[in-house]
Structure 1
């Protein structure tokens, strides 16, 4: 037995013996299955002897291990974890990565009720009083004191993530803005003009050189941007967004830079699929869910309309990167006859009660065209809701002028129709005084604003997303969805294990007041739409690859209504994710319970 398996077999030595003594894979399967069933029944008969919290982890591990060793799931997932374990026990090792071994070491710890997740790092060193021994005011004060300590520990994490409303950050950004304006020979009035912002998007080699004069680029980002531009891979940054970046790369602006500066792996993948990107990168299969040009429909009562297929700025992980060739590209605006036909389609389908006006970014269009489209949509009597999706509050808040807000507000007719704005803030560092002013202009018209965050490696540290929720509520934006990264191969550098988004929800978001954590963590199933990750009946872990990547079967939202096939998804490795966090300076102990979220 090689030393790298020690932690795994030490966690459950009897399983090692069962596997080692098995003469065949099927013999091993039968022995392990009987062992699991025996342990499950033993503790089901007398749970009083073990702590409830250990039993909860035990039950989840049992359920998942049954899935993983199932012959049916091995066939579906295309991998046999049990065979790898059996070979390791009989031969001393097997052809798997350390990521795989880590997964099963934690499975076996949970199986033996030795998960060692309590107390969490958050509460280490704080004694939990036995509240049952006290009552009345004494008990109330004692619990309040305990919760104060919990809140203080939360603040230690939250204080790491500054927003752009912090006085020190505002001062730094003022310097950044002046530096960019000097480089562009422009003035403060220009800066407040959204048209000026659009005209000066940094999207070519000259723009790259301007970026380098304004901030320091690390060598990898410069090389990847240059390669992208030379090969017509979409790239673009607005002056406003550039001024959010620190002059020197820092921990604070890490997420902001990662929004727009692509990793080399992304650019190389985009180049490799230049000729077939429409097929390679259309993860949500919009080509198969479009009943008419510009319309995408995945649900019974809502559909998307996309009149403009570009943005002033390119987000690297964009779901529709296969549609965009450059920021504000000349061909982005659909012909008016196609836009009219798409709107007519909504009028003809009385099943539609909600329309999402998106793209690209529809607020790139001029005011008159936005007004015209909203006017047409507002005349469709069965539409109860119009949602306008735009990232301009984060990338070009100057676009939300008094005039545009007045247009948007004119179509808000409560009692008949609601109009709202849906945006994408990814990190508290994106929020600025200009953002706040734009949000205030929108809110004065009576329009609500909702946020959809994409949960990426860049914003997935402990309490990082909670800090975003807090600042969003402060400025009047309601958290709406938190999206797990799409399973697009070109974006794997941004991906986070599903276990981490579940952990974040249970251990961090849950500690915030309910009004702050109104977002729902979801996974987009290709061609079908969102699955709620907190609902165990919507997905199950069915395998672990030799690289230690979990394989999930997603059961679409339609499963209780119609016969639909599950979607099989291979996640990123938890082990690899934690190693990347360590490189960012994180303590892996902060995340030690991640293994027990399935």
Structure 2
């Protein structure tokens, strides 16, 4: 690559300043030419969904076969992005509806997503937040952060805060430190998570100075976003090693993408490389229904097939949970192969990954415990304070012994 020998190549700020943002720059780097008709349509695509690739990430593309390259497909626009299909939704996860104040998404009872950055190192073509790509109108200010902190402080049920964006690691070290320190001072916040793709597209961002900041916070977890084993380069491994080396637990969230990683062998190689570098595969997402992403979406059946190739065939630690993030804000729904085949009063019939069918006999002596959620008469040795009780909702409420609700009735809009 023509920039790869630049003296500042490993400077993450230089990488950001020299991001590739035009079709012509891509042609120059890959030494290729797109015909004029295609370029005209591609330029219309990037007018709506901007192009931005770090020199590092583009250097991973196989220029001799770029059309089939998994890195190229994730980074370079396609004409199909302009095709809005019937099922496509601008805000597929209903994040705006679940946003009580600007920058906070509160969907689940005990956790919130804190939108702290609107900038990414690279614009991924499969991004679920394509509506926000390149949007300069909302760049959080200190007053926005303070409003978020006040919301979290006033909601004692929130024990888990996910910093997201954009990419939180595109903020300065001082600002990241400020955010983490401020959250750590909130007594009921037990867990802080950061979602970042910088180890994938900008591994040089993981500097010793950044690690020094992160290592101060013992309740911090980091989730990365590797989609293909080709992305786990020597530079990426070095970045992961810095993070894991200071004791930060690492997870990974992949998206199942057609003609990128929708292959059992590719996915198995990816989870093996992740676990070899102390990264726990956490989620495998079905691609969301964002506008212009249908060409990336696979069938759910393909995802189930991939999961069948992992469970039992490799370490349980390397098997992610396959989920669909329900359209409209329903949250993550696990979609996994069926291992429980049938169930009677005394036995459960199960099958394993090989197709072996077996039985598990239920205990004869188990006495059902009726729970009123008050803990006054319970002999289990965990006495919870009243403030620890969170109002049950959904299926949990139907199962609860202290609820008289016997049906859930959908509300028609």
2:120 counterpart SS class:
coil
Q: Which moved more, 1:506-515 or 1:396-405?
A: 506-515
Alignment partner of 1:322: what SS? helix
**TM-score, normalising length from structure 2?**
0.78
Q: Indicate the structure (1 or 2) with the bigger Cα radius of gyration.
A: 1
Partner of 1:317: 126
- C-alpha deviation, 1:198, in angstroms: 0.8
* Larger RCO: 1 or 2 (CA < 8 Å, sep 6+): 1
C-alpha separation in 1, matches of 2:325 and 2:49 = 25
Q: Does 1:228 align with 2:51?
A: no
Aligned residues of 1:224 and 1:262 also touching (Cα < 8 A): no
Partner residue, 2:113: 304
Aligned to 1:423: 224
Structure 1 position 558 matched with structure 2 position 394: yes
The aligned residue for residue 528 of structure 1 is 330
Q: CA deviation at 1:325?
A: 2.3
In structure 2, C-alpha distance between the alignment counterparts of 1:564 and 1:443, rounded to whole Å: 46
**1: distance between equivalents of 2:17 and 2:117?**
17
Query: Which residue of 2 is the match for residue 346 of structure 1?
Result: 152
Give how far 1:319 is off: 1.0
Distance 2:64 2:301 in 1: 33
Q: 1:196 aligns with which of 3, 14, 26?
A: 14
Q: For 1:175-574, list aligned pairs within 5 A.
A: 176=1, 179-181=2-4, 186-187=6-7, 190-203=8-21, 205=22, 208-215=23-30, 216=32, 222-229=39-46, 231-250=47-66, 254-269=69-84, 280-325=89-134, 329=136, 331-412=137-218, 418-457=219-258, 458-517=260-319, 519-525=320-326, 526-534=328-336, 558-561=394-397, 563=408, 565=410
SS in 2 for 1:201: coil
**Number of residue pairs the alignment of both structures matches:** 345
SS in 2 for 1:453: strand
Q: What's the CA shift for 1:451?
A: 0.2
| Distance in 1 (alpha carbons) for counterparts of 2:289 and 2:204 | 33
Structure 2 counterparts to residues 136-175 of structure 1, below 5 A: none
SS in 2 for 1:369: helix
Kindly provide the CA deviation profile for residues 333-391 of structure 1, in whole angstroms up to 9, marking residues without a partner as x.
21210111101111111101100000110110111111111110010111111001100
Aligned pair in 2 of structure 1 residues 218, 471: CA closer, same or farther (>3 Å)?
farther
Displacement of 1:294: 0.2
Deviations 1:493-513 (A, max 9, x none): 000101111111113443112
Q: Are the counterparts in 1 of residues 45 and 78 from structure 2 also a CA contact under 8 Å?
A: no
Instruction: Tell me which moved more, 286-295 or 258-267.
Output: 258-267
**Aligned residues of 1:238 and 1:396 also touching (Cα < 8 A):** yes
d(CA) in 1 for partners of 2:409 and 2:238? 46
Cα separation, 2, equivalents of 1:332 and 1:361? 14
CA distance change for structure 1 residues 565 and 397 in 2, over 3 Å: closer, same or farther?
farther
Question: Alpha-carbon deviations, 1:244-264, whole Å to 9, x = none?
Answer: 10122258x622111111221
Structure 1 unaligned residues grouped into runs of 5+: 1-175, 274-278, 413-417, 538-556, 568-598
Match of 1:158 in 2: none
| 2: CA distance, partners of 1:439 / 1:522 | 25
The alignment partner of 2:284 has SS state of strand
More helix by share: 1
Larger proportion of strand: 2
SS, match of residue 287 in structure 1: coil
For residues 59 and 143 of structure 2, what CA distance do their matches in structure 1 show?
Answer: 39
Task: Check the 8 A contact 1:232/1:325 in 2, yes or no.
Answer: no
Give the secondary structure class of the aligned counterpart of 1:561. Answer: helix
